[in-house]
Amino acid sequence: MATTYVIGAGASRHAQYPLASEMGQGVINFMLGMQAPFPQQVRHLTKRFGEQPNIEEMITELGSLIQSGHNTPDFFAPGNLRASIGCALRQWFRQIHTGTAAAYAEFADKLVQSGDVIITFNYDDSLERELKGTGKWDVAGGYGFPFAAPVRSSEVLILKLHGSMNWLWPVPFLGDRPVIHKGDLEHLGYDDLSDFTGYLFGALSRNSWKWGIDGHIRLGVCLLRMSTVASFNGRDTSCSGWKSMRRARL
């Protein structure tokens, strides 16, 4: 029987990625070291959200301001602020890419089987990299929506209910589909990028990192109702940290 694994927020801490509670201050500090207008935007953000903002509350409020029409063509407009936060988070996480993810590597190699589904609340793609290395996961179809043409099947499906740093929101003239950065594909272990030509990051498509979350949430809830579930406690970094549970009833 296929298993659905649920990986709680904070499980990527062992791979040096920040906890959600650290991410707001972390991205603010990172933006201070970037070129203009990022440091100037930081002053505007900290005035509104404080020195240690909650990253999700900050993104959500900026999104609400955008939806309500509080957007102007300047560096401090909500849309530009949210875009800069997303850009800074991606660059910050890319610096962490060079680290190791030993617990994920063991999990991918010893526990995950073909047909399994992984629901994760972590933004980074270190788990995907380890699964790609085992041959059990393919970005072309492994998120449940296409990232390559032709679309290839993936033995394991990953649902990221909080979004992912390598998902980019399409700009209007690219069409209604996700795009991905060349550097993120290379990090995952792809050398030949010919199948990804129509899905590669463009200069004007960098203003989002949460494509497709609603669909992932709906599918994730359905899977939890139907399958055997296991959870990861995020503290024990060996395979013993995984605990089998009875069928979930939501």
SS (H, E, C) 56-78: HHHHHHHHHHHHCCCCCCCCCCH
Domain contains 182: yes
Among the listed residues 10, 47, 18, 46, the one whose alpha carbon sits nearest the alpha carbon of residue 31: 46
Q: What is the pLDDT of residues 220-246, one digit of tens each?
A: 555 555 455 555 544 454 444 444 433
Say yes or no: 51 and 171 in one domain: no
pLDDT value at residue 1: 74
What residues form DSSP beta bridges with 242?
232
Domain contains 250: no
Residue 43: give the domain boundaries: 20-96
pLDDT value at residue 244: 41
Say yes or no: 190 and 224 in one domain: yes
Say yes or no: 112 and 211 in one domain: yes
Q: What residue ranges of the chain have pLDDT lower than 70?
A: 71-72, 169-177, 202-250
Say yes or no: 112 and 143 in one domain: yes
DSSP-based three-state secondary structure for 107 = helix
pLDDT value at residue 163: 83
Say yes or no: 175 and 147 in one domain: yes
Q: How far apart are CA 61 and CA 215, in angstroms?
A: 22
Say yes or no: 225 and 107 in one domain: yes
pLDDT value at residue 234: 47
Say yes or no: 145 and 162 in one domain: yes
pLDDT value at residue 228: 53
Say yes or no: 112 and 9 in one domain: yes
Domain contains 9: yes
Out of 45, 66, 96, pick the residue that ends a domain.
Answer: 96
Q: How far apart are CA 148 and CA 82, in angstroms?
A: 27
**Number of domains, the chain:** 2
Q: What is the pLDDT of residues 9-24, one digit of tens each?
A: 889 999 999 998 999 9
Out of 96, 112, 141, pick the residue that ends a domain.
Answer: 96
